[in-house]
């Protein structure tokens, strides 16, 4: 069976993306890394980051290997009951291989992005000595490497696998591989970065009044490493995972629509459209590079809007071209256009979520201002204010997602919803680039401080840094919205695969499934918050120990022992991610085995809905606390060192694991649980034909 040649668009876009990533990385690497001290600090950061990745990847290797064996031996690609590969002798090599490739691809993209990220930081700091433009360019190119690598690897993987196997379920294996890595990278990175950050703040800032990034603080380097492993590698693998999953969900739903006739162009529309999105992202990246130096913060956001616009235009053009494709059955012409409009809905809802996050976290808007004023009433009131604004901020994006879902469904049923997700994620190249820019400039600022480049240069780096924070609100909103639409699409494709046409809440089994689903994101967040808290406590002890055992560290005469703090963050983050990751695979399976696949569907729905509430709440509350603190530090309400400032630091510290550990990890949790449900379907159908072990009772 021949594959429509139009698929080559996606493949070519993917290859261009990798080439550009390579080109940008060359541009970054040839820049001046700065003075000796800067190179030294950057070296520490690089070493810390690679050490972490090495340990992480070693454990991931075992995990991936075990799942690979389970896949090929026990889980059939075709999800009918009883066809256990090891019994039938027909091992599930193809999906297993796709799984391996997905996992390796995700690790590769993460490693590449981080490698360039840790090279770009010191160069961006040095660039700031030449000017804002130079500093911005280096940092942004560094970030783009991550963005382009993620999208390039994903698109090449998806299109090649489909080209070879012509089976969306094989691509599902690829997606599962990417997700299982993402879960570890996101949780582990999130725990790492906040262990270091919270630890550094609690002792360094609160007890010893050291400024941010002060080289005397033993956790400074670990904090910088954390930005890389959490915000670059973690965020990258998270979006990689949503990106692939949205494409796969759309393909599975499209395959159901064409009733298994995979010869036409309709089924590869999601892939190729994503290729078009990548081209739009590239244009957006060049736009940002062109405009970037003038007002960095605004440019990053403008670039996102510009990519969106270009994508909308190119998408329409491409839909028009599809009309000329002889391999597209004319009966699908209308659908291509309906799906195109669904894509626009996805983009629109992404923007709504982004705007909401922006509004609720910007220091010139009411919520963050009120939160800062709440600091005047003390620590507790800052917390109450942040929590309540965080919860309220869930409402607009929930309405946005509901509208997008409803209208996308009106346009083209479940496939419409999946296409809305594809649309939202199509410009992920730009999103990840903007996002990875953040930690690079954050590190650059730290290196400028430690390399003693002087106040002027630090101020320049500061400007670049605050631009990163502005962009972060929108990119986070996008990530949450995209993940949410994606998992909704996965829920529908799961039901499609399981042959479930009804998930009835008046069936008590199903209701219990939904109940467990609603509880899981709460439990998962709690475990991650506890992980950060416990690990940060160890960090606090270590920092206090260093200051007390060697008073010369505080006077700056002797260097702090960075390796100890890095070690605590590394070991702790890896140890603590075991429980949450087990949850995400074991609980869906237990629900499916006991209560059946319909209950598992309700479980997923419950987890998606409550996960959305927790993710948005935590991410917005965390962002607002952070900015309220910064606003006070800018000299408002008395400025630094006051009791009001201390109360705002409490808010920020509570917000840290909210916004950078638990909140964003929920996205990945949802994707992994949804994919687990689909991948293990053949296995679940063994239990009373998918009705669950307890079917005879309830």
In 362-394, alpha helices (H): 366-374, 379-392
- What is the per-residue DSSP string for 147-201? HHHHHHHHHHHHHHHHHHH--HHHHHHHHHHHHHHHHHHHHHHHHHHHHHHHHII
What character string, x for contact with a second copy (CB under 8 A) and - otherwise, covers 589-628? ------------xx--xx--xx-xx---x-----------
How many residues make contact with a second copy (CB under 8 A)?
79
Question: Which residue lies nearer to a second copy by CB, 291 or 544?
Answer: 544
CB of 171 to a second copy, least distance (A): 23
Q: What is the DSSP letter of 500?
A: -
> According to the binding rule CB under 8 A, does residue 549 interact with a second copy?
no
d(CA 348, CA 346): 5
Residues of this chain, 1-60, that bind a second copy according to CB under 8 A: none
Query: What tokens appear for 175 in the block?
Result: 């997606």
29 vs 381 by CB, closer to a second copy: 381
**Of the candidates 378, 550, 554, 640, which one interacts with a second copy according to CB under 8 A?**
378
Q: Which residue lies nearer to a second copy by CB, 112 or 252?
A: 252
Binders of a second copy among residues 86 to 125 (CB under 8 A) are none
Residue closer to a second copy (CB basis): 69 or 406: 406
Minimal distance in Å, beta carbon 526 to a second copy?
Answer: 3
Among 385, 486, 493, 676, binds a second copy (CB under 8 A): 385
Q: Which is nearer to a second copy, 2 or 697 (CB)?
A: 697
> Mask of contacts with a second copy, 485-524, x by CB under 8 A?
---x---x--x----xxxxxxx-xx-xx-xxx-xx--xx-
Least distance to a second copy, CB of residue 217, Å = 16
Q: List the structure tokens of 691.
A: 């009705």
Secondary structure of residue 265 in the 3-state scheme: coil
Among 109, 529, 672, 673, binds a second copy (CB under 8 A): 529
Q: How far apart are CA 100 and CA 72, in angstroms?
A: 11
DSSP, collapsed to helix, strand or coil, labels residue 453 as coil
Sign of the alpha-carbon torsion through 173, 179, 185, 191: negative
Residue whose token pair is 């939160």: 371
Question: How many beta carbons lie within 10 A of that of residue 298, not counting itself?
Answer: 14
Question: With the CA atoms of 293, 359, 231 and 519 taken in that order, what torsion angle do they form, in degrees rounded to the nearest 10?
Answer: -170
Among 381, 554, 589, 686, binds a second copy (CB under 8 A): 381
Q: CB under 8 Å to 259, separation ≥6 — which residues?
A: none
Pick the piece of the chain touching a second copy (CB under 8 A) from 31-39, 45-53, 135-143, 401-409.
401-409
Evaluated on CA atoms 635, 638, 639, 644, the torsion sign reads: negative
- Between residue 404 and residue 443, which ones bind a second copy under the rule CB under 8 A? 405-406, 409-410, 417
Residue 208 CB, nearest distance to a second copy (Å)?
13
Q: Where does this chain touch a second copy (CB under 8 A) — which range of 54-62, 103-111, 166-174, 381-389?
A: 381-389
Q: Does 392 participate in binding a second copy (rule CB under 8 A)?
A: yes
Q: How far apart are CA 95 and CA 78, in angstroms?
A: 10
Q: Kindly state the DSSP code that residue 639 receives in the 8-state scheme.
A: -
For residue 240 the two structure tokens come to: 């990689």
Ranges within 454-483 binding a second copy (CB under 8 A): none
- Judged by CB under 8 A, the chain residues 197 through 236 that form the site for a second copy are 198, 202, 206
Q: Using an 8 Å Cβ cutoff, are 464 and 434 in contact?
A: no
Residue 255 DSSP SS3:
helix
Choose the stretch contacting a second copy; rule: CB under 8 A; options: 212-220, 300-308, 382-390, 442-450.
382-390
Alpha-carbon distance 648 to 210, whole Å?
16
Hey, which residues between 317 and 336 contact a second copy (CB under 8 A)?
none
Q: Extract the tokens encoding 555.
A: 């006077």
| Closest to a second copy by CB, 359 or 515 | 515
For the CB of residue 397, give the shortest distance to a second copy in the complex, in Å: 10
One-character DSSP codes across 47-77: HHHHHHHHHHHHHHHHHHHHHHHHHHHH--S
Longest dimension (CA), the chain: 78
Instruction: Decide whether 70 or 609 has the Cβ nearer to a second copy.
Output: 609
Residues in the chain: 698
The least distance separating a second copy from the CB of residue 590, rounded to whole angstroms, comes to 12
Minimum CB separation from a second copy for residue 391, in Å? Answer: 3
Minimal distance, residue 222 CB to a second copy, in Å: 17
Question: Rounded to the nearest whole angstrom, what is the least distance from the CB of residue 448 to a second copy in the complex?
Answer: 28
What's the alpha-carbon Rg for the chain, to the nearest Å? 24
Between residues 14 and 367, which has the closer beta carbon with respect to a second copy?
367
CB 331, min distance to a second copy, A: 23
- The C-alpha angle with vertex 406 and arms to 401 and 408, in degrees rounded to 5, equals 90
What tokens does 100 get? 């391996």
Binding mask 248-287 for a second copy (x = CB under 8 A): ----------------------------------------
653 binds a second copy (CB under 8 A): yes
Sign of CA dihedral 170, 175, 179, 181: positive
Among 218, 588, 623, 657, binds a second copy (CB under 8 A): 657
Instruction: Specify the residue, 501 or 555, whose C-beta has the smaller distance to a second copy.
Output: 501
DSSP 71-101: HHHH--SS--TT--HHHHS---HHHHHHHHH
Out of 37, 298, 333, 530, the residue judged to bind a second copy by CB under 8 A: 530
């Amino acid at each position: 069976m021949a594959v429509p040649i139009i698929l080559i668009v996606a493949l070519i876009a993917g290859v261009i993306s990798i080439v550009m990533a390579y080109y940008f990385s060359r541009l970054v690497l040839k820049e001046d890394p700065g003075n000796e001290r800067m190179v030294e600090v950057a070296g520490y950061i690089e070493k810390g980051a690679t050490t972490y990745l090495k340990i992480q990847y070693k454990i991931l290797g075992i995990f991936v290997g075990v799942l690979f064996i389970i896949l090929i031996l026990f889980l059939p690609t075709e999800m009918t009951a009883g066809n256990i590969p090891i019994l039938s002798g027909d091992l599930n090599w193809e999906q297993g291989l796709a799984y391996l490739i997905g996992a390796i691809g995700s690790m590769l993209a993460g490693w590449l992005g981080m490698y360039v990220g840790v090279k770009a930081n010191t160069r961006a700091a040095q660039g700031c000595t030449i000017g804002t433009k130079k500093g911005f360019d280096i940092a942004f190119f560094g970030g783009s490497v991550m963005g382009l690598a993620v999208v390039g690897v994903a698109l090449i993987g998806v299109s090649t696998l489909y080209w070879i196997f012509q089976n969306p379920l094989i691509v599902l294996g690829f997606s599962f591989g990417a997700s299982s890595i993402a879960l570890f990278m996101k949780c582990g990175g999130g725990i790492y970065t906040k262990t270091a950050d919270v630890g550094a703040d609690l002792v360094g800032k609160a007890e010893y009044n050291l400024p941010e990034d002060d080289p005397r603080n033993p956790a400074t380097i670990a904090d910088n490493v954390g930005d890389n492993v959490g915000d670059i590698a973690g965020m990258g693998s998270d979006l990689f995972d949503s990106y692939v999953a949205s494409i796969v969900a759309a393909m599975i739903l499209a395959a159901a629509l064409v009733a298994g006739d995979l010869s036409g162009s309709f089924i590869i529309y999601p892939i190729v459209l994503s290729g078009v999105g990548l081209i739009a992202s590239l244009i957006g990246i060049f736009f940002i590079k062109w405009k970037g130096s003038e007002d960095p913060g605004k440019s990053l956001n403008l670039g996102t809007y510009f990519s969106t616009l270009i994508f909308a235009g190119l998408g329409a053009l491409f839909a028009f071209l599809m009309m000329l494709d002889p391999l597209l059955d004319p009966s699908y012409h209308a659908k291509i256009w309906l799906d195109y409009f669904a894509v626009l809905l996805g983009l629109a809802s992404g923007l709504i979520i982004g705007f909401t996050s922006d509004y609720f976290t910007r220091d010139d808007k009411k919520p963050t201002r009120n939160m800062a004023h709440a600091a005047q009433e003390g620590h507790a009131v800052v917390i109450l204010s942040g929590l309540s604004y965080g919860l309220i901020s869930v409402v607009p994006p929930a309405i946005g997602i509901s509208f997008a879902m409803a209208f996308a469904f009106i346009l083209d049923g479940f496939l419409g919803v999946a296409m809305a997700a594809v649309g939202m994620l199509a410009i992920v190249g730009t999103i990840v680039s903007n996002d990875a820019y953040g930690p690079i400039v954050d590190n650059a600022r730290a290196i400028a401080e430690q390399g003693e480049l002087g106040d002027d240069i630090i101020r320049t780096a500061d400007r670049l840094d605050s631009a990163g924070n502005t962009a972060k609100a929108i990119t986070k909103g996008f990530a949450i919205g995209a993940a949410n639409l994606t998992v909704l699409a996965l829920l529908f494709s799961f039901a499609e695969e399981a042959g479930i046409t009804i998930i009835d809440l008046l069936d008590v089994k199903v209701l219990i499934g939904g109940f467990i689903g609603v509880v899981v994101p709460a439990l998962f967040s709690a475990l991650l918050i506890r992980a950060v808290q416990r690990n940060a406590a160890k960090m606090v002890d270590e920092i206090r120990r260093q200051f007390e055992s060697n008073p010369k560290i505080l006077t700056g005469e002797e260097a702090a022992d960075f390796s100890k703090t890095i070690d605590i963050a590394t070991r702790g983050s890896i140890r603590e991610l075991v429980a949450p990751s087990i949850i995400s695979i074991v609980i869906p399976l237990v629900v499916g085995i006991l209560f059946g696949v319909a209950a598992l569907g309700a479980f997923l729905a419950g987890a998606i809905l409550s996960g959305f509430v927790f993710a948005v709440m935590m991410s917005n509350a965390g962002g607002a606390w952070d900015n309220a603190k910064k606003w006070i530090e800018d000299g408002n309400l008395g400025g630094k060192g006051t009791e009001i400032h201390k109360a705002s630091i409490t808010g920020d510290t509570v917000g840290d694991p909210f916004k950078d550990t638990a909140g964003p990890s929920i996205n990945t949790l949802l994707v992994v649980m949804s994919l687990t449900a689909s991948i293990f379907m053949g296995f679940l159908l063994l239990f009373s034909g998918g009705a669950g072990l307890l079917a005879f009772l309830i």
